[in-house]
Amino acid sequence: MSSIGRSDPQGLKGNPGADYWRSLEELSQKPGNESLRQILADAGATPSSTDLNRRGFLAVVAASLAAAGVGCSRFDDRGEIPSYPDRLEGEIPGVPRYYASTLVRYPGSLPILATTREGRPVKLEGNPEHPASKGTLGVFGQAATLDLYDPDRQQTPRLKGKVISWGEADREVRSQLELSARAGKATLLVTGPLVSPTARSLVRLFVSTYPQTIHRSLATFHEAERLEGRQLAFGTPTLASIRWDLANLVLSLDCDFLGVQGGPGDETGFSARRRQEHASGMNRLWCLEAGMSVTGANADHRFPLRPGLQPRFLVWLLGELILRRTIGPLASDPLVRQAARGALLNIRLEEFGIPEPAAKALVDDLVKSQGRTAIIAGPQLPAPCHVLVAALNVTLGNEGTVVIPNPTIPGSEPSTLREWVEAAEMMNRGRVGLFIALDVNPVYSLPEVGCREALAKVPFVVASSLLPDETTGLAQLTLPAGHDLESWGDSDSHPDVLSLQQPVLRPLFEARQSEESLLAWLNPPERPAANYHEYLKARWKNEVHPQHGAGVDFTQFWEAALHDGFIDLKTTPAPASTLSVPEVADALSRCSQKVEPGFDLTLRPSPRLYDGRFATNGWLQELPHPVTTQAWGNSAVIAPSTALSLGCKEGQILTVKVGGSAIDIPVLVSPGVADHSIQIDLGYGRQSAGTLGSQVGVDAGKLRSRTGGVSAWVYCGARLVVTSERDRIIRVQQHNSTEGRSFIRETTGESARNEGHGAQSSSHSQAAAQAANWKYKAEKWGMVVDLSACTGCGACTIACVAENNIPVVGPEEVAKGREMHWVRIDRYFSGPADNPSVSFQPMMCQQCDNAPCEKVCPVAATVHSPEGLDEMVYNRCVGTRYCANNCPFKVCRFNYLDYHKDVRAPAELLFNPEVTVRSRGVMEKCTFCVQRIAAARQAAKASGRKLADGDIRTACQQACPTGAIVFGDLNDPESRVHKLAHSTRSYQALAELGVGPAVTYLARIRNPHRGLKI
Amino acid sequence: MSQVITDRDGEFRHFDQATFAQVDDDIAAPMAYIPGRRWWIALACSGSLMLLGFSLMAYTVSTGVGVWGNNSPVFWAFPIVNFVFWIGIGHAGTLISAILFLFRQPWRNAIARFAEAMTIFAVMTAAMFPVIHMGRPWLAHWVFPYPNDMSIWVNFRSPLVWDVFAISTYFTVSLLFWYVGLIPDLAAMRERAATKVHRVVYSVLSCGWTGLNRHWRHYERTYLILAGLSTPLVVSVHTIVSFDFATSVIPGWHTTILPPYFVAGAVFSGFAMVLSVLIVVRRLFHLEHIVTMRHLDHMNKVVLATGLMVGYAYCIEIFTAWYSQEDAEIFMILNRITGPYWWAFVLMFSCNVLAPQVHWSSRARRSIPIMFTVSILVNIGMWFERFVIIVTSLHRDYLPGSWGMYKPTLVDLGILAGSFGLFFTLVLLFVRSLPVISMTEIKAGLPGAQISKHARVPAKLPAVEEANV
């Protein structure tokens, strides 16, 4: 597999793909070469042979290795994918290269920097230059590489199960397009929400070429309610983003903006103000929510509030502000005042279960921080709530200062439920002749319109997707789509930037990105470019460059954009708009409706599988839920009081009935959930999600209905029936209390300001004295974990998994307590069970100076490095497991079985070559990313300088969206880690044991209202 | 007292009039004839258990220790419990053969050989566990400090390395001690051998013993030296095994009382195991006149005494935890008693502390059913003592976030059963192939055996005294 026409790249550019062929295989696929095809097939070298014999297998492995090997594109993009043996200037085997790109996602794309080793991406980091993420990357982004190398990936186009070539597939689609047009039937083109301007223009072109086409975009979780609310309130379609740097006070009404409902910038922005050192002081978070989310866990004041009461609370709050405190423009508006008075007639503060002093403190806080507050409500709340949120933000003067309206881009939002209902009707009536699903799984994602049944009425279904799923199962033609890392694209999902996506390796197998397919299905006369890369480039040349590339020619502009991964783009700000008073009055009355009897069900995006698209991803399946710590499954999460009144225990199967639908799902009892409320994560219970994800958990999407809900995700009046059956719930953490021990320390902002909070204890100095027996002459590596900044999201765990080749062990092993995560996040509850405080503590190897693990190993497989690391020598380990027993932090992980045994091609390409893949019978643990230390040292040495502070960043540190983890040299008094480790908030966990941990925790600061206890 | 038993058994012989030949005949009797059905049934049972255990061990080694219930945080569980249990069983043998020998306790003669054999078998059984317990048992030799081309030494700070030395020394010395004691008997067996094969085997094993004065002198010196060498091992082996726990930082393990507590427990469980097996063997092979009620009575006194020591240790652990005022220590004790494994603690306490209390009564000490029941209970209790120490300490240590529960798998249970299978198979083979009671020592106690004041045993065998009562 050598690259095309290396000697004549210019000529190729002029006439790409004409009659060139890259290999005999490709040549054989061209018409007229049937005999060659036969010869190759006889030789077993066709990579598409279905029953793999040995030669076929070797051919596929060789092909995928070679494909991976030749993958990298230069940032200066020659329009070709060069062969690795003829490597590029500066390319040194063993030295990683980095490419800026974008994971194009809705609602927020993830800017990345892909680390490639010998042509294959092995690790993703956030793009440090990108304003949206500032170099951090959360769990979904970190886990993306695993999908790239998923052995279950679709490998070739298949027509009714038969392997065909891309040429045949394209001809088939074109003929089906014509067929359906001739029959006067519609073509339904279903994509995800188009956050890529180039994809939008391509879809527009496709629709105009095939006018019978109806385009629908699909997302399980979207902003439609918020959008509608703001549209009603202000008359223009906008969505709000928050200026976290200005927000002194945040009130979240069931919005998990620090978790799965936030974008890449929200966590980072919010947590920057969680530090007292911040110039504007520490912010305060009030949170009212039905379930216990990451956001609630991080709140200074949190109150459980069932979804049925949430609209009423907004009414109460608005009434309080404009009637009692007479604040803001609405206070003087008779219409609103009257509506508020009317609405408040049947609303009492008591019904919310919020103590009166707390409610008063909240209102005081809001009044005090006018213009410096952000009030946000979850996207699952119905539109009238968002009208009231807008009214509240206007009342407090936040709109336009802290809450910034951003105009939505036409075509980038997903289709509404009404549109889907219409589409399903058309399908059911037989008016759709062709259904094309591109990178979406409508059969799983659209249960409420009966997509599965409707698809049966469509004569021809085309599904292009990375992995086989429910939709490909029903499709006649299945196409292997490209992964984000194999695709070209762009994204304007973040205000003020246009992100660029470039492939970092050539598609594995025969994958082809869906946009490329869409382009290929245009007949040659209408086809504007030979491939999507050309199309993208042309659009950038014609539309983007003239506006933004002032002063530079296009090539330079393009190469700079590829290098940076984005360009700055001034989005036109939303026009100033005024609040619509009648709409507020209307919303007040609509939100003050009585609560339905029964239970309130909220269907949540899973913080691990999101809408189910990551069900195939073992890393995410195995990553415990941040609050319930459940892995490999979902559950109906209810409050202890609800469990008591229902008479059910954890693991008992509950029948949840909403309208006419019902599911059976095991119960998980979690403190802090609102009474009369059930929380279920969507995204589980996939029927066909490969070897890993099928039949894991319960598909709560079956409860969704077109009409029954307050919104698509909130259903009031659910009925629960307790059954006598039980099911296993896999919880990684079984004990919730700290038992009053002091390894987690907290203080309030107040006391921290006044007296320093005294987290330093005498035992700290004792351990330090012990450590002083040994002098670290050069570096002494240490880490600081700021419990105030940590939100418990789990990005560090996944980053560590990706960096250190940590295996997925599967549900059985996790149930036994054998998960392999080197850094885990312990979650503790304190206080009352109905509304506890939550504390998170990332726990990794503490690299003790006086390490208990080192002392007890009979074969000296854990030894102390001169720089203070507890080094684990895998090759020497015989597996007595004594080190793990003697570790007071229990951070050693043991390979009880050969966990890498089931790694199938091409998944082994994902392994980080810098880190040993551990065999069975061997202990492993965090090494402070010793390979990164070595690499940084080599780089420093090569450039003839000393290691500087910040040269080395551990994988967990780099991923952490809130910068809670700092690594460096404790011997360097100027280093950040040294300064933080000696700050007043610092303490060491279990320092009283005298083990001398090299990890220092910074006590968590809570910032409660002065008059309230937390 | 003995009359009752002898009446019941109907096998009584007057040993004071016994000739040396009669002693030989009685003791060698089990080896002379083709074993009866009961022996074969017993061997079939224990042999099947042993094979089950071996196949499960093979399964473990080929698949990984993940087939057990061990997890994080309970990295050590059944296999280490079994290891400590079997090592403890071995202690009675050494105590009886070495310490009681040095203290000139002649009643030991009747049971010493048997107890020594049990020591050897118990240590063999125990020694399997650290090996199969390793994640990579094929590299087990790495725990020995042998010269190698990478110049990697073992970690002498690790109690596991001390264990390696302690157990290998213990095994070697016990084996030598046992074998040296066997030599005169083997020579006697050689003389009695019916077939050529027997004669050749016994000839080789008896090292050319002809009963010369020189032979006797060397033999007795060697025996005395080995007894002297074995004596500290009684204390050291289980002390060092206890260091595995005592030197760690885990609450419930990190205790200075562990070494004496472990040694007392080991003697306790060892005597219980010897009792359980001996009661059966003496009955089956009609050795009631040699292993008499007085022997059993003495052993029951040892059981009672060591049981009290163990009970003291349990109580002092609770006191220490309270006295330390350490959260983790206090929690550990409360968790042992009231936590999810409370039943293991109750089982341990009632079997080890309460059950032996019946032995304050001499009637109970001389009742076969009672002492047999107590000995079995003590065996169960001592197994659970190790379970309590290992599992309940590990499953909840310092950070509650890492706490977990342990549940054994069928493989764990199968290997435990297999270890009993191995032990009893060895015992059964032993009783058919070697004299279970030292003929030499019994004969030395017969009237007329001692022609002069001798450095070895007193002239009178207590068994004979009793038989005369």
* pLDDT over threshold 50, residue A625: yes
Residue ranges of domains in chain B: 2-468
**Residues from chain B contacting residue A884 (CB–CB below 8 Å):** 72-73, 75
Taking only the tens place, the pLDDT of each residue in B14-23 is: 445 567 777 7
Residues whose CB falls within 8 Å of the CB of residue A332, separated by 6 or more in sequence, listed in order: A326
- What number of CA atoms fall less than 13 Å from residue B260's CA on the CB side? 12
In contact, B246 and B253? CB cutoff 8 Å: yes
Taking only the tens place, the pLDDT of each residue in B278-292 is: 898 888 877 787 788
Is residue A763 in a domain?
A: no
Give the pLDDT band (50/70/90) at residue B462: very low
Question: How many beta carbons lie within 10 A of that of residue B450, not counting itself?
Answer: 15
Taking only the tens place, the pLDDT of each residue in B301-318 is: 999 999 999 999 999 999
Is residue A740 in a domain?
A: no
Say if the Cβ atoms of A993 and B158 lie within 8 Å: no
Angle among Cα A229, A234, A239 to the nearest 5 degrees reads 55
| Ramachandran angles phi, psi of B366, nearest 5° | -110, 10
**Residues from chain A contacting residue B250 (CB–CB below 8 Å):** 885-886, 888
Mean pLDDT of the region A64-92: 58
**Residues from chain B contacting residue A892 (CB–CB below 8 Å):** 72, 75
Dist CA A376 CA A293 (whole Å): 15
Same domain, A165 and A176: yes
Beta-sheet strand order (sheet of A284-289): A301-304, A284-289, A249-253, A373-377
Same domain, A315 and A436: no
Same domain, A996 and A937: yes
Same domain, A384 and A298: yes
Same domain, A848 and A928: yes
Least confident range of A50-59, A664-673, B391-400: A50-59
DSSP assignment of B191-207: HH--SHHHHHHHHHHTT
**Is it true that the peptide bond before A906 is cis, omega within 30 degrees of 0?**
yes
Q: Looking at A59, A74, A91, which one is the last position of a domain? A: A91
Same domain, A465 and A484: yes
> By C-alpha distance, which of A116, A125, A55 is closest to A81?
A116
Between A and B, how many residue pairs show a Cβ–Cβ distance under 8 A?
A: 173
Same domain, A801 and A923: yes
Dist CA B100 CA B114 (whole Å): 14
> By C-alpha distance, which of B209, B302, B280, B249 is closest to B45?
B280
Q: How far is CA A800 from CA A124, A462, A931, A984, in A?
A: 11, 38, 12, 29
In contact, A220 and A445? CB cutoff 8 Å: yes
**Residues from chain A contacting residue B248 (CB–CB below 8 Å):** 852, 856, 885-886
Residue A277 CB-density burial (10 A; 0-12 exposed, 13-18 middle, 19+ buried)? exposed
* pLDDT over threshold 80, residue A20: no
Q: What residue ranges in A439-503 does DSSP mark as E strands?
A: 460-465, 477-480, 489-491, 497-501
Domain range for A190: 152-221+414-564
- Complex confidence, ipTM: 0.89
Give the pLDDT band (50/70/90) at residue A904: confident
What confidence score (pLDDT) does residue A848 get?
92
Say if the Cβ atoms of B400 and A922 lie within 8 Å: no
Dist CA A1000 CA A868 (whole Å): 14
**In this complex, which of B135, B153, B405 lies closest to A878 when CB atoms are compared?**
B135
* pLDDT over threshold 50, residue B8: no
Dist CA A72 CA A119 (whole Å): 5
Taking only the tens place, the pLDDT of each residue in A632-652 is: 999 999 999 999 999 999 999
Angle among Cα A416, A421, A423 to the nearest 5 degrees reads 95
Among B residues 122-161, those touching chain A with beta carbons less than 8 Å apart: 130, 133-137, 139-140, 142-143, 152-155, 157-161
Token pair of A220 as six digits: 């399980």
Is residue A403 in a domain?
A: yes
Q: Looking at A695, A726, A757, which one is the last position of a domain? A: A726
Same domain, A546 and A481: yes
Is residue A742 in a domain?
A: no
Mean pLDDT of the region A894-909: 90
Q: Chain A closest CA to B412's CA: distance in Å?
A: 14
Q: How far is CA A844 from CA A954, A960, B93, in A?
A: 12, 14, 47
Query: Which of A742, A871, A890 is most worth mutating to test chain B (most B CB atoms within 10 A of its CB)?
Result: A890
In contact, A905 and A151? CB cutoff 8 Å: yes
Dist CA B229 CA A509 (whole Å): 71
Mean pLDDT of the region A433-458: 92
In contact, A549 and A520? CB cutoff 8 Å: no
**In this complex, which of A824, A843, A859 lies closest to B155 when CB atoms are compared?**
A859
Count of the separate structural domains present in chain A: 5
* DSSP H or E segment with residue B2: helix B2-9
Query: Which of B151, B152, B158 is most worth mutating to test chain A (most A CB atoms within 10 A of its CB)?
Result: B158
**Residues from chain A contacting residue B328 (CB–CB below 8 Å):** 741
CATH architecture of the domain covering B2-468: Up-down Bundle (1.20)
Say if the Cβ atoms of A826 and B70 lie within 8 Å: no
Q: What residue ranges in B124-171 does DSSP mark as E strands?
A: none
Same domain, A829 and A959: yes
Mean pLDDT of the region A129-148: 90
Name which residue leads in pLDDT, A625 or A756. Answer: A625
Please list, residue by residue across B100-139, b when 16 or more beta carbons sit within 10 angstroms of its beta carbon and e when fewer do. bbeeebbbbbbbbbbbbbbbbbbbbbbbbbbbbbbbbbeb
Is residue A921 in a domain?
A: yes
What confidence score (pLDDT) does residue B99 get?
82
Residues whose CB falls within 8 Å of the CB of residue A983, separated by 6 or more in sequence, listed in order: A1002
**CATH classification at residue A964:** 3.30.70.20
- Mean pLDDT of all residues in chain A? 87
What confidence score (pLDDT) does residue A168 get?
94
Return the top range by mean pLDDT from A62-71, A737-746, A785-794.
Answer: A785-794
Dist CA A302 CA A255 (whole Å): 12
Is residue A162 in a domain?
A: yes
Question: How many beta carbons lie within 10 A of that of residue A734, not counting itself?
Answer: 15
Q: pTM score, two decimals?
A: 0.87
**In this complex, which of A741, A852, A898 lies closest to B248 when CB atoms are compared?**
A852
Is residue A734 in a domain?
A: no
Say if the Cβ atoms of A890 and B402 lie within 8 Å: yes
Dist CA A919 CA A905 (whole Å): 18
Mean pLDDT of the region A346-350: 90
Beta bridge partners of A480: A465
Beta strand A677-681 with A599-604: parallel, antiparallel or unpaired?
parallel
**In this complex, which of B72, B160, B331 lies closest to A884 when CB atoms are compared?**
B72
Say if the Cβ atoms of B250 and A885 lie within 8 Å: yes
> By C-alpha distance, which of B114, B116, B127, B109 is closest to B90?
B116
What confidence score (pLDDT) does residue B463 get?
43
* pLDDT over threshold 90, residue A39: no
Give the pLDDT band (50/70/90) at residue A148: very high
In contact, B158 and A856? CB cutoff 8 Å: yes
Same domain, A509 and A551: yes
Mean pLDDT of the region A730-748: 88
Return the top range by mean pLDDT from A83-92, A470-479, B451-460.
Answer: A470-479
> By C-alpha distance, which of A902, A862, A900, A901 is closest to A879?
A862
What confidence score (pLDDT) does residue A62 get?
66
Name which residue leads in pLDDT, A288 or A413. Answer: A288
Same domain, A254 and A298: yes
Is residue A99 in a domain?
A: no
What confidence score (pLDDT) does residue A820 get?
95
Mean pLDDT of the region B139-158: 91
Query: Which of B399, B403, B406, B412 is most worth mutating to test chain A (most A CB atoms within 10 A of its CB)?
Result: B399
**CATH classification at residue A682:** 2.40.40.20
Token pair of B432 as six digits: 């058919």
What confidence score (pLDDT) does residue B458 get?
46
Q: How far is CA B297 from CA A210, A517, A568, B437, B442, in A?
A: 102, 91, 94, 18, 19
Give the pLDDT band (50/70/90) at residue A410: confident
Least confident range of A54-68, A122-136, A752-766, A822-836: A752-766
Same domain, A784 and A841: yes
In contact, A932 and A952? CB cutoff 8 Å: yes
> By C-alpha distance, which of B229, B196, B206, B188 is closest to B435?
B188
What confidence score (pLDDT) does residue A33 get?
62
Dist CA B101 CA B109 (whole Å): 8
Dist CA A617 CA A621 (whole Å): 6
Token pair of B147 as six digits: 């010269």
Length of chain B in terms of residues written: 469
Q: How far is CA A636 from CA A304, A606, A665, B277, in A?
A: 16, 12, 6, 56
Give the pLDDT band (50/70/90) at residue A28: low
- How does DSSP classify residue B390? I
| Ramachandran angles phi, psi of A540, nearest 5° | -65, -35
Give the pLDDT band (50/70/90) at residue A31: low
Report the residue of chain A nearest B249, measured CA to CA: A886
Give the pLDDT band (50/70/90) at residue B7: very low
* pLDDT over threshold 50, residue B466: no
> By C-alpha distance, which of A343, A312, A325, A314 is closest to A252?
A314
Name which residue leads in pLDDT, A679 or B433. Answer: A679
Dist CA A242 CA A697 (whole Å): 35
Mean pLDDT of the region A381-397: 93
* pLDDT over threshold 80, residue A1013: no
Mean pLDDT of the region B89-111: 81
Beta bridge partners of A722: A654
Among B residues 223-262, those touching chain A with beta carbons less than 8 Å apart: 244, 247-250
* pLDDT over threshold 50, residue A445: yes
What confidence score (pLDDT) does residue A638 get?
94
Dist CA A833 CA B25 (whole Å): 77
* pLDDT over threshold 70, residue B450: no
Give counts: helices (H), strands (E), chain B: 20, 0
* pLDDT over threshold 70, residue B68: yes
**pLDDT cut 70: percent of chain A above it:** 89
